Amino acid sequence: MQPSPLSINKFRIFFILCTLGILTDNIIVIHYLNQPWEIAIVDGLVSVGLLTLAGLLIIHTLRFYLPTGKQYINIFSKCLILAVIWVLLIKVILHFFYGQNAAYSKLLYESLPVRFSIGFLLLGCFTMIGILWFSQQEQKESETRKQDAEKLAKEAELFKLRQQLQPHFLFNSLNSINALIGTRPEEARRMVQQLSEFLRGTIKKEDTDWISLKEELQYLELYLNIEKVRFGNRLSTAFQIDKESTELKIPALLLQPIVENAIKFGLYDTTGQTEIILSAKKEGGHLLIAVTNPFDPATASPIHGTGFGLKSIQRRLYLLFGRKDLLTSTAKDNTFTSIIKIPQTQNHE
């Protein structure tokens, strides 16, 4: 339910001032029409008091039932009825007080149509203000709701995209550790350590976190070391990082899925020696990172088309930067390269 406009100070003052203005006006007019001050004041208090009550009633009604479309006719007919009741009440009450006063009685009787017109006009204005206020409130509320929903959906999507930690990877790593425990317990211990740190990093980091390339690379190294244990000598990696780029910032866990993708096609889907090269340099206002891996065109393309599973990364970049041109990939001969551009304009600290 929306707050009543009267709950806001500015409107309360406006409402009171209006009431007082109309009251003063009423008193002066009655006095001007040759009635004594006493009668003019009582007349004013009764008329304006009842009108104020009617106004409050309208506000209260609108608060619960905001008219839509054709209901406007309905609400204005209610105004009309309210104005009629108001005039009748004035007549009865004031007649009760000053019925014996013939001059006033006559004035009261003759002024009824005028009073009705003014009352209806005022109540109508009041209703209009109320409707405007409440529909604006409702719009504001639905706007906020919509924004909240969008924000939630975006967060959930980002969360899902980054939580795509492969259960396959996890269980296979555990299996490797299991195998190492019997024969090479020292290595098993080291791998448990690396796997834990890797998992901790996945859980801890938020999408909104920006970390230095150096940090992200350290994290990737954990991942690649685990894969090296799993696949023995088949995997080798090379980092070619320009000095000036190491302190540049990137969103946490952004590079991870790209390297995962390189591993998926370069290591999981080929049989020979696999080298994965990661290079980074600064170019204009961007940090440019390229990941290169070998792939087998005969088996890789039939499964995954040409997209190479980079869609989710593309999507994440779009959610983060609102751009679709930040990730490009090329497949040439048996080498696949993904290039990602990270704008360095972001204000992050």
Partner 1 sequence: MSKVIIIDDEPLARSMTKEFLQKHPSLDVIEECNDGFEGLKAIQTHQPDLIFLDIQMPKINGFEMLELLDNPPSVIFTTAFDEYAIKAFETHAIDYLLKPFTQERFDQAIAKWNEQQANSNPSQTQELLESIAQSPAQNQRIVVKNGSKIKIIPVHDVHYLEAADDYVKIHTAEGYFLKNKTMTWFENTLDKQHFVRSHRSYIVNVQQITRIDPYEKDNHVAILRSQVHVPVSRNGYSKLKNVLGI
Residues that bind partner 1 (CB under 8 A): 166-168, 170-172, 174-180, 182-183, 229-232, 268-271, 296, 298-299, 301-304
Q: Which is nearer to partner 1, 309 or 343 (CB)?
A: 309
- Least separation in angstroms between CB 211 and partner 1: 29
Output b/e per residue, 148-180; b: 16+ Cβ within 10 A. eeeeeeeeeebeebbeebeeebeebbeebbeeb
- 8 Å CB contact between 327 and 338: yes
Which CB sits closer to partner 1, 69 or 167?
167
Written as one letter, the residue type at 102 is A
Token code pair at residue 65: 């039932």
Indicate the burial class of 9 (C-beta count within 10 angstroms; 0-12, 13-18, 19 or more): exposed
- Give the type of residue at 297: P
Q: Which is nearer to partner 1, 175 or 346 (CB)?
A: 175
Residue closer to partner 1, measured from CB, 221 or 269 = 269
Least Å distance, CB 158 to partner 1, is 24
Minimum CB separation from partner 1 for residue 130, in Å?
A: 51
Q: Which residues have CB under 8 Å from 244's CB, separation 6+?
A: 282
| Cβ 248 vs Cβ 344: under 8 Å | yes
Paired sense of beta strands 327-332 and 286-294, if any:
unpaired
Pairing state between β 274-283 and 235-241 = parallel
Q: Phi and psi of 19, rounded to 5°?
A: -55, -45
Least separation in angstroms between CB 234 and partner 1: 9
Q: How far is the CB of 334 from partner 1 (least distance, A)?
A: 13
Shortest distance (Å) from residue 307 CB to partner 1: 12
Our CB check for partner 1 shows the closer of 99 and 305 to be: 305
Q: Which is nearer to partner 1, 117 or 178 (CB)?
A: 178
